[in-house]
Amino acid sequence: MKYVSIFFLLFCLSSCEYFDKKKISTEEILQEDLKTFNWNEVDEYPSFNNCSSSATKALRKQCFESTLSNHIVAFLVDKRIIVTQNVNDTIRIKFNVSEKGELAVQDIESGDVLKTQIPDLNKFLIESLDNLPEISPAIKRGQQVKTQFTLPVIIKAAN
């Protein structure tokens, strides 16, 4: 009987751990999910209507960037900008596309030659974005999200 009592006592002490269940809070689950989340990639890039028929994600992104770049260049060509020396430079336009598909310029990086030859360039670039076609926002995990892009635009002008 003595051995049975010792066995029963040991069994009771060790079995208590089997009944403990580790509770995982929703916050812990969220934190684990966020660690695996790639914040730099979206499932679908922002898009214009003419780009939605492209087959792959990379082609839709390329279509969006080329449509935007062509729109800016066409606007600048219509302005008939006059320069005193040849200009061949690349500007970088940083912009955001909101969750609602609204485009906003954050920064424009250009060289000194462009700034002196075309002092109104930043104003022209912002004006060129005013009459863009409707933009569909980027999508991440089924939600519309804000994205940021840097678009290089090559400016060539001869005197």
Q: Are 75 and 116 in contact (CB under 8 A)?
A: no
- Do residues 137 and 110 both lie within one domain? yes
* 55 pLDDT higher than 70: yes
Number of domains in the chain: 2
- Do residues 17 and 86 both lie within one domain? no
- 28 located within any domain: yes
pLDDT digits (tens, 9 = 90+) for 114-145: 888 888 888 988 898 888 888 989 888 888 98
User: Which amino acid is present at 109?
Assistant: E
- pLDDT of res. 96: 92
